[in-house]
Structure 1
Amino acid sequence: MRTPSVYIAEELMPYLRARIAEILYREGLRQARIAGYLGITQAMVSKYLGGNYKRPPVDVASLLDSLAEDIARLILLGASRDEVVAFTSRKLFELFSSGKLCGHYSSYAGVSEETCRALFSSAMVGGALEEMKLALRELLSLPGFSGLIPEVRSNLAYAPPGAKSPADVIAIPGRITLVKGRPYALPPEPGASKFTASLILAVTERNPEIRSVINVRLDAKIKKALSKANLNVVQVKTGGMSDEEAIDVMAKLFEEKTWDAVLDEGGEGVEPLVYIFGRDPLDTVKKVKAILGVMG
């Protein structure tokens, strides 16, 4: 029987480990250290770096390439092995539960795609809170992030699969603020935001691929950095609108196109802000890092 666990072990993990090894090696990690993180021998790392591994179909490889980048970033950030294993397991589960891997798995195992989806649809995707904690830790460590925090302060929000209301959205209680010039945040928790949570829920309803958002300051320097970072941006002006109207205006932008950032010029009594969107908190933080990287 070719169960999902066998499929993961035989078809996904060799390629995923190889891509992680390539990224870590490119970042300067030694083969022995890479082997320790991946739980394989140094000889196997050398084999992977030599390109000696099986490649899955292009669409599956694309999904795993993205996951490998996230896992490598966690390792480089200093995440523990327990955190890396938990994160990898959650992400693979999400790829199954969303149906993205079911087409390939059904061919591999000789079962229907409906059977594949049924295997995962009854289980809840756990660990979203831990994922937010990892993303927040990276965000707060970014050099220059304090300069992006607006007067109204920032919030990072995540609507995990199954989120139905703001009470299900994980965010930062009291938002991210500055304490003695440094960014500070309480641990994330469900139901900690109203506006940001409602915004990401409305966007996710239009585009299920987008599940995370953070708001930062908007000025000429940041606007220029958004362009230099090659992010897809769109501009709106919500001054004079109610929260519900502003959310509806921004969410409708995602009905036909995926945007990395929405620039809200604000208006009377409304501070100009940038809302940066991602498929998950780590993806959102990655875009913040890209902006800071080109600001100089």
Structure 2
Amino acid sequence: MKVPSVYIAEELMPYLRARVSKILYSKGFTQAQIATWLGTTQAMVSKYLSGGVKAPPREVGRLLDVLAEEIARLVEDGARKEEIILFTTRRLISLFRERDICEHYSRYARVSTELCSQFFATTPEKDVLSELGIALRELLALEGFGGLIPEVRSNFAYALPEAKTPSDVASVPGRITLVKGRPFALPPEFGASKFTAGLLLEVMKRRPAIRSVVNIRYGDDVEKALEKAGFKVVRVRTGGMEEADAVKALAAPFEKEVYDAVIDEGGEGVEPLVYIFGGTPFEVLRKVEKLIEVLRGDES
């Protein structure tokens, strides 16, 4: 009887571990360090690195490659093992909603694809809160992020795949602020931010794959760092606009192009800000991290 746990252990995890091992090894991690993170032996890591693992079908491999990159990034960022385990579990469960995964599992276990889709009762809402919560903790821990929080404070948002209203967007209640010089935020909630949620919804109307955003301060140093980091940036001016019009103006550039960041030049009574976008909060996190690295390099 080949239940999903057997399928994951036999078919998915060996390839996923091998991909994570290769990524971390290329980043300078030793085999012993990789073994510790993966909870396995150094000899097994050596096997992973030598290519002695069966590859899954191409479409499944592509999904696992993306997951491996995200896991490796969490390891690099110093995430706790508990967070990485939770993230990986959530992602593997979500893969069972993918048609390619279910078709492969149905052939492996000789069951119907309809049965596959019924296995896990997790909801998209739980997944969004879990992923945003993990990314938020990593964002707050980034050395230098506190210096990017604007006077109006920052927010970090992540929308459901088919988000239609602000209640479909999770964000930080009360925004991200500084407490005794350190970034602080409450756990994400749905419907916690009208403006940030509205902006993300407007962007999603034009680019449904863009589901996450964070706002940071603007400055000449930040603009130069965005350019140096290779980000695709567009400038907008919302000073004097009503909130609804400002949201639409910030989202309008996405009609023709996909941007990593939008600079709002602000205006009278409106603080200039930078909005950094991505498909997931982890993609946004990586962009902020890269920006901080460039800023730190310019200072040294």
With normalisation by structure 2, the TM-score equals 0.83
Once the two structures are TM-superposed, the CA of residue 275 in structure 1 deviates from its matched residue by 0.5
Paired position in structure 1 for 2:145: 145
Once the two structures are TM-superposed, the CA of residue 158 in structure 1 deviates from its matched residue by 1.3
Paired position in structure 2 for 1:178: 178
Once the two structures are TM-superposed, the CA of residue 131 in structure 1 deviates from its matched residue by 2.1
> Measured at CA, do residues 92 and 161 of structure 1 come closer, stay the same or move farther in structure 2, by a change above 3 Å?
farther
Paired position in structure 1 for 2:249: 249
Paired position in structure 2 for 1:265: 265
Paired position in structure 2 for 1:292: 292
What is the distance in 1 between the residues matched to 2:199 and 2:53?
Answer: 42
State the SS of the aligned residue for 2:274. strand
Residue 210 of structure 1 contacts residue 278 of structure 1 at CA under 8 Å; is this kept in 2?
A: yes
What is the distance in 1 between the residues matched to 2:93 and 2:123?
Answer: 10
Once the two structures are TM-superposed, the CA of residue 62 in structure 1 deviates from its matched residue by 4.0
Paired position in structure 2 for 1:200: 200
Paired position in structure 2 for 1:106: 103
What is the distance in 2 between the residues matched to 1:56 and 1:289?
Answer: 32
What is the distance in 2 between the residues matched to 1:60 and 1:265?
Answer: 43
Once the two structures are TM-superposed, the CA of residue 216 in structure 1 deviates from its matched residue by 0.8
Count how many residue pairs are aligned between Structure 1 and Structure 2: 293
Once the two structures are TM-superposed, the CA of residue 120 in structure 1 deviates from its matched residue by 7.5
What is the distance in 2 between the residues matched to 1:103 and 1:203?
Answer: 28
State the SS of the aligned residue for 1:234. strand
> Measured at CA, do residues 108 and 184 of structure 1 come closer, stay the same or move farther in structure 2, by a change above 3 Å?
closer
Residue 106 of structure 1 contacts residue 112 of structure 1 at CA under 8 Å; is this kept in 2?
A: no
Q: State the one-letter code of the partner of 2:188.
A: P
> Measured at CA, do residues 257 and 31 of structure 1 come closer, stay the same or move farther in structure 2, by a change above 3 Å?
same
> Measured at CA, do residues 179 and 81 of structure 1 come closer, stay the same or move farther in structure 2, by a change above 3 Å?
closer
Once the two structures are TM-superposed, the CA of residue 48 in structure 1 deviates from its matched residue by 0.9
Q: Does 1:85 align with 2:58?
A: no
Paired position in structure 2 for 1:41: 41
Question: Could you tell which deviates more after superposition, 153-162 or 106-115?
Answer: 106-115
Deviations 1:20-72 (A, max 9, x none): 11233334444344234324333221111112223345554443333212212
Deviations 1:250-273 (A, max 9, x none): 334334432211111122222211
Once the two structures are TM-superposed, the CA of residue 159 in structure 1 deviates from its matched residue by 1.2
Residue 3 of structure 1 contacts residue 109 of structure 1 at CA under 8 Å; is this kept in 2?
A: no
% identity of equivalent residues:
56
What is the distance in 1 between the residues matched to 2:35 and 2:46?
Answer: 9
What is the distance in 2 between the residues matched to 1:267 and 1:56?
Answer: 54
Residue 106 of structure 1 contacts residue 116 of structure 1 at CA under 8 Å; is this kept in 2?
A: no
Question: Could you tell which deviates more after superposition, 83-92 or 208-217?
Answer: 83-92
> Measured at CA, do residues 104 and 168 of structure 1 come closer, stay the same or move farther in structure 2, by a change above 3 Å?
closer
Q: State the one-letter code of the partner of 1:134.
A: I
State the SS of the aligned residue for 1:49. helix
Q: Which runs of 5+ in 2 are unaligned?
A: none
Deviations 1:101-159 (A, max 9, x none): x2465367459998489548985132432322221221122222122111211111111
Q: State the one-letter code of the partner of 1:69.
A: E
Deviations 1:72-100 (A, max 9, x none): 23234443433222211222333443x4x
What is the distance in 1 between the residues matched to 2:132 and 2:65?
Answer: 21
> Measured at CA, do residues 248 and 92 of structure 1 come closer, stay the same or move farther in structure 2, by a change above 3 Å?
farther
What is the distance in 2 between the residues matched to 1:267 and 1:112?
Answer: 61
Q: CA RMSD in A?
A: 3.0
> Measured at CA, do residues 96 and 265 of structure 1 come closer, stay the same or move farther in structure 2, by a change above 3 Å?
farther
> Measured at CA, do residues 2 and 82 of structure 1 come closer, stay the same or move farther in structure 2, by a change above 3 Å?
same
Question: Could you tell which deviates more after superposition, 249-258 or 85-94?
Answer: 249-258
> Measured at CA, do residues 266 and 113 of structure 1 come closer, stay the same or move farther in structure 2, by a change above 3 Å?
farther
Q: Which runs of 5+ in 1 are unaligned?
A: none
What is the distance in 1 between the residues matched to 2:286 and 2:226?
Answer: 13
